[in-house]
Amino acid sequence: MKKVALATLLLVAAACTQAPKAPTAKSYPIVDSLLKVMTLEEKVGQTVLFTSDWTVTGPTMREGYLDDIRAGRCGNIFNAYTAGYTRKLQEIAVNETRLGIPLLFGYDVIHGFRTIFPINLGMSCSWDVEAIEESARIAAREAAAAGLHWTYSPMCDISVEPRWGRISEGAGEDAFLGSLIAAAMTRGYQGDDLSDVGTVLACVKHYAAYGAPQAGRDYNTVDMSERWLREFYLPPYKAAIDAGALSVMASFNELDGVPATANRHLLQDILRDEWGFRGFVVSDYTGINEMVMHGYASDVEDAGRLAMNAGLDMDMQGASYMDYMVGLVRSGKVRESTLDEAVRRILNVKAELGLFDDPFRYCSAEREATETLTEDNKAAARRIASGSMVLLKNDGVLPLQKGKRTAVIGALAASKDDLLGSWRGAGEVESVPASILDAIREVAPVAYAEGAKEMGDDRSGFAAALSAARSAEQVVLVIGEDCQWSGEAASRSDIRIPGVQTELLEKLAATGKKVAVVLLNGRPLDLSRENELAGALLEAWYPGTMGGYAVADVLFGDFNPCGKLSVTFPRCLGQVPIYHYAKNTGRPYIHPEAKYESRYLDVANEPLFAFGHGLSYTDFEYSAISLSSDSFSGGGSIRATVTVLNNGSREGTETVQMYIRDLVGSVTRPVKQLKGFERVTLGPGESKEVSFTIDAETISFWRQDMTWGPESGDFMLFIGGSSDDVKEIPFSYAE
């Protein structure tokens, strides 16, 4: 057939434009016109997403996929990037297909594109929402300059499961903090105008509750009450939608017995009908096909029928839609109007990106050269990495002194690759300027010994490590997990430090030296033994491109640590799941000698390091809480104020946290819920009043009848520097 010019379609649109069905999308004349002339096969093609083989073979496509693009059978590509490569593929779509509909290019830009920031769990420990938004904005500029339109981020999965490898990709355990971060990342990626060539389309994932797999095993079954889902798992997804995200990725897991990929309650009832989402939903990689193995679909064709009818618009890599959707529509098993709505949503997003105005607007070799790995980007990565680190323990060991002979021990200390973590986008080891070892060498004379690798039982390096420690004035041991031990398909049944690294720490501690331990890891770990042995514990996570310098900045005091844990660290795996918003039970643990209470026989109930915990090189002192009133009602509010004093000798940043407990409710309430926080920077001896407003929305929850709102009663308010270190005061509310 003769190729139809887009300009002609626009003229047709002026004469006959049919409004889209609310609330799924805005109306674009070009989209309305295209839908009028597209064949059934061309419509299905817009719902197909295939991969480039970049990660295996560089910038190449399977020949069959190129034919699919030319035939209009594939309208979207992921894992293809660089301005030159995406331009070549886009030229095929625009110049060699009948309608010239541009391709949409997606990629996993999770915590940076070329300039890699700390893993997302690490960044969440900064509690610095503006900095996290900045990281997403930088990632968007770099990705967009490389020809990309779409990132599969933010990951909004709340998780209290440290065995699950993908806890590294999220914002931790708390819905309040996670919601602020999800919205910030969405704003960072999409900006104020999605057609700006410095922005990319955000994708809210993994919808929904992917972070709660049974046994902590990736892809495993998820089952929870509707109330728990809505209160503690759904809010970050909604926050990203409210911030303007225009794509959502369905999760691999089932929920309430129905795979998310075909869960109409999630995709239609909640996402579109309740939240008003107007973008498109994409499956995760072969997620449609996997419903056969779930036992929910009889075959791949049936899976495609279920997914499309449930509201899933685009098929990632599974080819279910490409192979079967035409037949499903012609047989009446899927209405063509249902397919039309899916195509409309996808084309509308392409229109919002400006791709119909200029399909090549993102393919700029000049921007790619000037906006990638800039000095400003690297400076931001270094600053954000330092701010994401959490000082878990410090017995006067840190900060270290510059110029003093320093023993640096551990294979991870010399590794540049591990600094990048998993899901490092297009980040390359060659772009990492310094390992932790390299960075320390720039500020102090170093005796280095590998000592122990991150895995295995090789102790042959112990002797050299002990010798280096004895000859040094200060000792740094870098231990943790290989970076590939977190992320997708990286679940662990044991969350202790692997290999013989802790054994090496025991030997070093036995020398009488106080050891500063730097941790590289992507999940909460059981650090009970390390906490006993180390003089200091610095949680550095996987800190990214500039992570080596950032670690040195914190170790030697150029940056005063200010990170606070966004996830609880247990004493042992047996405590998992453990989190700060647990409920009280009818027999809470109160009396140390009592038997018939909710407690362990062999370990304390309390975690090793609580949510919100994080030390500084200075000391902060909190006053008692003062309230503007001890009660409020209806549309009123009260104001809670504390004075925070820097009692130390150097400037520092403190995250002041507010928690609330509803003492009696129509359903049981958590013992503590985060409801606000403020970061304050204070000089030595400086103090500041920090205030929080509490209103009806602050104390609202999903009540017994599953309506959202407050209930009259008594409450307890907590303010402090950690969930387990707070001042408290009661107040009441009357409707």
Residues involved in catalysis: 284
Whether 279 and 345 have beta carbons less than 8 Å apart is answered as yes
**Cα(331)–Cα(339) distance, integer angstroms:** 13
**Cα(586)–Cα(598) distance, integer angstroms:** 9
Q: Which residues contact 689 (CB under 8 A, 6 or more apart)?
A: 641, 642, 643
**Cα(207)–Cα(436) distance, integer angstroms:** 37
- Pick from 42, 57, 137, 50: nearest CA to 97: 42
- Pick from 699, 656, 658, 660: nearest CA to 679: 656
Residue 709: phi and psi, rounded to 5, are 165, 175
**Cα(557)–Cα(535) distance, integer angstroms:** 16
End-to-end CA distance of the chain: 68
**Cα(598)–Cα(605) distance, integer angstroms:** 9
Position of tokens 């520092």?
Answer: 652
**Cα(363)–Cα(352) distance, integer angstroms:** 17
**Cα(735)–Cα(720) distance, integer angstroms:** 28
Element (H, E) at 624: none
User: What letter does residue 496 receive in the DSSP assignment?
Assistant: B
Position of tokens 């307890």?
Answer: 716
Whether 659 and 670 have beta carbons less than 8 Å apart is answered as no
Torsion of CA 496, 552, 412, 471, to 10 degrees: -100
Number of H helices, E strands in the chain: 23, 27
Pure H helices in 5-128: 6-15, 29-37, 40-45, 54-57, 63-70, 83-96, 120-124
